Amino acid sequence: MTVATIGGRDVQVDAEGFLTDPAEWDEELAAVLATNIGLELTEAHMAAIRWAREDHAANGETPTLRRMATAGGVSTKEMFALFPKKPAKKMSYVAGLPKPVGCV
Q: What is the pLDDT of residue 96?
A: 96
Q: Say which amino acid occupies 48.
A: A
Question: Which tens digit of pLDDT belongs to each residue from 14-35?
Answer: 999 999 999 999 999 999 999 9
- Is position 57 within any domain? yes
Q: 90: alpha, beta or left, given left = phi > 0 and alpha = psi -120 to 50?
A: alpha
Cβ-based burial of 64 (10 A; exposed 0-12, middle 13-18, buried ≥19): middle
Told to judge if 103 belongs to the known catalytic residues of this protein, a careful annotator would answer yes
Supply the DSSP symbol for 85: S
- Is position 10 within any domain? no
- Is position 38 within any domain? yes
Range of the domain at 45: 26-95
- Is position 56 within any domain? yes
Domain count, the chain: 1
Cβ-based burial of 48 (10 A; exposed 0-12, middle 13-18, buried ≥19): buried
Question: For the whole model, what pTM was predicted?
Answer: 0.92
- Is position 14 within any domain? no
Supply the DSSP symbol for 50: H
Per the residue annotation, which of 28, 31, 103, 104 is the catalytic one? 103
- Is position 85 within any domain? yes
* Percent of the chain surpassing pLDDT 70: 97
